[in-house]
Chains A and B, each alone.
Chain A
Amino acid sequence: DTEVTQTPKHLVMGMTNKKSLKCEQHMGHRAMYWYKQKAKKPPELMFVYSYEKLSINESVPSRFSPECPNSSLLNLHLHALQPEDSALYLCASSQDRAAEAFFGQGTRLTVV
């Protein structure tokens, strides 16, 4: 199984809503990542978890809150988002931080 599964595939939320994005992998990878991708732009790193601990936060606003409940799961909690936060949110995992990363299909988020 070389798959990273993200749910939901699409999400529309209002600026006062609270929602969560979910990511799951069963490859035994110990590093997991959240990236944000705007249209026609490269993925931008948001957060890195290594051995279930947050190791990198790329100065992401506090309205994005990551959580790693166990080694297979990664969540991104969303609260009070802005329309400019609309993007494709990608989850990835790798054996460790120096190995190739496998990406999920992403969650297409629209903030209205």
Chain B
Amino acid sequence: GESVGLHLPTLSVQEGDNSIINCAYSNSASDYFIWYKQESGKGPQFIIDIRSNMDKRQGQRVTVLLNKTVKHLSLQIAATQPGDSAVYFCAENQAGTALIFGKGTTLSVSS
């Protein structure tokens, strides 16, 4: 079936750089998207969400962009820190059913 996917399995950045993690989705009926961070041995942790009636949402050091025309989602992390190192998943909610996760991107931050 249709699912959410990420473009790159790994991303390596230097401390202080801005990071951009991308995700493509294929189901035009999806109306809610979430970015999760998962550290080793832990459950996914909510970072930021966005609904389909918006194209941008900002949090503390993070921004999510939604482009419904090309079905693309991105997570921008400003001034990336070593503590940001983790696996990042985008997830889509297909019309209020349940969250379906994309493949994940491993972010490595070196100091």
Residues of A within 8 A of B (CB): 4, 31, 33, 40-45, 48, 56, 90, 92, 96-98, 100-106, 108
Contact = CB atoms under 8 A, between A and B. Distances in A.
A98 B104 contact: no
A4 B31 CA distance: 25
Given A97-B93, A100-B34, A100-B49, A56 B43 contact: no
Interface stretch (B12-20, B66-74, B75-83, B94-102): B94-102
Nearest to B3: A42
Interface of B: 31-32, 34, 36, 41-46, 49, 89, 93, 96-104
Contact of B101 (A42, A48, A98, A102): A42
Given A97-B93, A101-B99, A43 B32 contact: no
B12 to A, nearest CB: 17
A96 B96 contact: yes
